[in-house]
Structure 1
Amino acid sequence: MILARMFSLLLLLVVSACIHREKEPLRVGTLLWPGSEPIFLARDLGYVDDSSIRLVEYTTLGRATREFRNGMLDAVFATLDIALQLQHQGLEPRVVLVIDHSLGADAIVARPGVVRGVEDLRGKRVAVEDLVVSMYVLGRALEQAGLKPSDIQLVRTPVDQQVRAYTSGDVDAVVTYEPFLQRLRDAGAQEIFDSSQIPGEIVDVLVVHEAVLEKNPAQVEHLVQGWLQGRRYLEEHPAEAVAHMSPRLGTSPSELTSMLKKLRLLTLEENLVLLRGPSSPLLASAQQLQRFMLKEGLLQKPMQPEQMLDARIIEALQEGR
């Protein structure tokens, strides 16, 4: 009888532990970027359940990516090149949502009077974060101006240190993105190139570990749905949404409104097109990005980006409408 009771108690503890594990929130890496802000808006409006989704904030994408790679995060808002790198490193990343196309929110700024255009960067000191997307923006700008990376002096500078590097005179130009772009403008820097000149090439996505997607599809669906709900609220109530989001980014509502005009936040319907099939425009963007990464030695061998694109969550949301 005693043994039976002990067995029953042990079974109860095991079941309780299993239930607790099942309720552990999805750990989602984020950083300061206007395109990912709809998920914070959704959380604050109650569209996202805190017990299901835990948003973890980082100052740099590099650190967020490392923690995703090391298993400290289940999902991360990142750039498409990051997904390719994760695949190259032997992980099984799944792109379950395309959040935006950058149409001016990534840029190169420079010191007025010293650098008037990209062609003037020859021999100049250029601050760039140690990320492929920043190197890609710089590489495409130099290519259009007939220059090579070897024509400039690269200064590796984390994004949260770029304003200081510029104001102290350590660099002549900076490759950056919003909201840091606005801070550099406020410091007097002028844009000489931005992502609107390479439309469709800078893409931001939500990446999830394949094992997490298989084990916890409902939580991943809740996360994706939350971002889409936040996006819809921003579209339908722009003034209220921008006023709510701007403090977290350290900007004014008018500045954030200007930033958002430089992004195309993608709908559920657009995601269906981008994440499905071999003719996906996103696949074409990934292949172009991969060619650049191979050329610059940022990838050692070609990847299979079509294996990363996973439309199942978006399709489930579409069917549930």
Structure 2
Amino acid sequence: MKRLSILLLCLTLSTTASARDSFKVCWSIYVGWMPWAYGAEQGIVKKWADKYDIDIEVVQINDYIESINQYSAGEFDACTMTNMDALTIPAAGGIDSTALVVGDFSNGNDGIVLKGKESLAEIKGQSVNLVELSVSHYLLARGLESVGLSERDIQVVNTSDADMVAVYGTPDVTAVATWNPLLGEIMSMPDSHKVFDSSLIPGEIIDLLVVNTETLEQNPALGKALTGAWYEIMATMSGDDEAAEAAKTYMAQASGTDLSGYEAQLASTEMFYTPSAALSLTNSPTLVTTMQHVAEFSFEHGLLGEGAPDATFIGIETPAGVYGDSNNIKLRFNPAYMQMALDGSL
């Protein structure tokens, strides 16, 4: 698989970072990451990059997992991804990564849909199309657990997010786990029933901007510029004026929907429009517990690498403490730049 080959490449890469003035950031379509598209188009990212005498190129990647693979391979300095994928792809591949901006958590934006069935228990015996080993897979596992089932009771079919809607439209596919905007498109199709979603596991699927730790340490200007741009965008889109409507309309169209569709996605997203909201989650001991759940799921599915003896193999550093091996920290939740934004010191 392409993903495995990228991960093997990551194990052998020797990443060297030094102070420099040009950086690349990648993102993929998701309600909580559309602000980066707006920020790039409107020159907000450039404005903040200029403030620190650097250049930041913002690039859209159509396939979500591929965007993380490219970041892990060193082709990008930063990438949008979830907390689980940050652990299981770059961190598990030996790439020390930092969650620079904690943007939101999914509060219904990820879901399980059955065709012609109305309860999650009826998923038993079905094939479930999803992006294997992604947060959709994690959501499925948590959902199955809630009705006394396990993955032994279903069959997972690995499906690219780029193909998910088309695949669901075929007669043979009766169950999917996916995220918005794909989830919304699928739910608009006949006889589709959402039987479980992320609102039932609040705060567990967290959306991040992740930066290579060594790059960030040697180039703090990158962290300041990205964080400053993010909260300027948040201030605009969270308003109730014409500027907010224009910003959200742009994000909607860029993600293939309209303003009402995008606002529906926002309604099932716990956006952290202010640094204080993001810091509340980041600094909480609950984050350690969440990452323990994620690490345990990841270990059970062989996602922490062949050499991982248990779920604690990779150290995950948070302000409230470290989960896992403190001598092998590869994923860090660093509140420093969000704190600077709160303090007005960017």
Same fold (TM over 0.5): yes
Match of residue 297 from structure 2: 292
Specify the SS of the correspondent of 2:43: coil
For 1:269, give the aligned amino acid: S
Match of residue 28 from structure 2: 31
Tell me, in whole angstroms, the C-alpha distance in 1 between the residues paired with 2:262 and 2:24.
26
Tell me, in whole angstroms, the C-alpha distance in 1 between the residues paired with 2:37 and 2:65.
20
Tell me, in whole angstroms, the C-alpha distance in 1 between the residues paired with 2:64 and 2:288.
22
Superposed counterparts of 1:90-239, under 5 Å:
90-112=94-116, 115-188=117-190, 189-236=192-239, 237=241, 238-239=244-245
Cα 1:22–1:93 change in 2 (3 A) is closer
Match of residue 313 from structure 1: 337
Shift in Å at residue 123 of structure 1?
A: 1.1
- For the Cα contact (< 8 Å) 1:106–1:195, is it kept in 2? yes
For 2:80, give the aligned amino acid: F
- Once the two structures are overlaid, the 10-residue window that deviates more, 294-303 or 139-148, is 294-303
Tell me, in whole angstroms, the C-alpha distance in 1 between the residues paired with 2:209 and 2:80.
5
Shift in Å at residue 258 of structure 1?
A: 0.4
For 1:315, give the aligned amino acid: Q
- For the Cα contact (< 8 Å) 1:217–1:313, is it kept in 2? no
Specify the SS of the correspondent of 1:191: strand
Match of residue 14 from structure 2: none
For 1:287, give the aligned amino acid: Q
For 1:319, give the aligned amino acid: D
For 2:279, give the aligned amino acid: L
For 2:119, give the aligned amino acid: G
Shift in Å at residue 30 of structure 1?
A: 0.4
Structure number with the higher helix fraction is 1
Tell me, in whole angstroms, the C-alpha distance in 2 between the residues paired with 1:227 and 1:174.
32
- For the Cα contact (< 8 Å) 2:27–2:36, is it kept in 1? no
Q: Select which of 40, 47, 55 maps to 1:52.
A: 55
Tell me, in whole angstroms, the C-alpha distance in 1 between the residues paired with 2:141 and 2:344.
43
For 1:98, give the aligned amino acid: V
Superposed counterparts of 1:3-22, under 5 Å:
22=20
- For the Cα contact (< 8 Å) 1:132–1:298, is it kept in 2? no
Specify the SS of the correspondent of 1:35: coil
Q: What residue ranges of structure 1 are gaps of 5+ in the alignment?
A: 1-20
Tell me, in whole angstroms, the C-alpha distance in 2 between the residues paired with 1:22 and 1:291.
37
Shift in Å at residue 247 of structure 1?
A: 1.0
For 2:176, give the aligned amino acid: V
Shift in Å at residue 131 of structure 1?
A: 3.2
Specify the SS of the correspondent of 2:32: helix
Tell me, in whole angstroms, the C-alpha distance in 1 between the residues paired with 2:62 and 2:114.
23
Tell me, in whole angstroms, the C-alpha distance in 1 between the residues paired with 2:180 and 2:237.
18
Shift in Å at residue 273 of structure 1?
A: 3.4
- For the Cα contact (< 8 Å) 2:223–2:337, is it kept in 1? yes
Q: Select which of 29, 38, 41 maps to 2:38.
A: 41
Q: Normalising by structure 2, what TM-score?
A: 0.81
For 2:271, give the aligned amino acid: L
Tell me, in whole angstroms, the C-alpha distance in 1 between the residues paired with 2:333 and 2:168.
38
Shift in Å at residue 200 of structure 1?
A: 1.0
- For the Cα contact (< 8 Å) 1:221–1:313, is it kept in 2? yes
Shift in Å at residue 129 of structure 1?
A: 0.6
Q: Work out whether 1:304 is the aligned partner of 2:315.
A: yes
Q: Work out whether 1:270 is the aligned partner of 2:310.
A: no
1:197-231 C-alpha deviation (Å, 9 max, x unpaired): 11111111111101110122112211122122111
Q: Select which of 260, 282, 287 maps to 1:282.
A: 287
Q: What residue ranges of structure 2 are gaps of 5+ in the alignment?
A: 1-18, 318-328
For 2:291, give the aligned amino acid: A
Shift in Å at residue 42 of structure 1?
A: 2.3
Specify the SS of the correspondent of 2:265: helix
Specify the SS of the correspondent of 2:278: helix
- For the Cα contact (< 8 Å) 2:102–2:207, is it kept in 1? yes
Specify the SS of the correspondent of 1:28: strand
Shift in Å at residue 241 of structure 1?
A: 2.1
Shift in Å at residue 40 of structure 1?
A: 2.0
- For the Cα contact (< 8 Å) 1:59–1:160, is it kept in 2? yes
Q: Work out whether 1:254 is the aligned partner of 2:260.
A: yes
Shift in Å at residue 163 of structure 1?
A: 1.3
Percent sequence identity over aligned pairs: 29
Q: Which consecutive segments of 4 or more residues in structure 1 shift more than 6 A?
A: none
The number of residues matched between the two structures is 296
Tell me, in whole angstroms, the C-alpha distance in 1 between the residues paired with 2:40 and 2:59.
13
For 1:23, give the aligned amino acid: D
- For the Cα contact (< 8 Å) 1:287–1:305, is it kept in 2? no
- For the Cα contact (< 8 Å) 2:101–2:338, is it kept in 1? yes
Tell me, in whole angstroms, the C-alpha distance in 1 between the residues paired with 2:137 and 2:57.
31
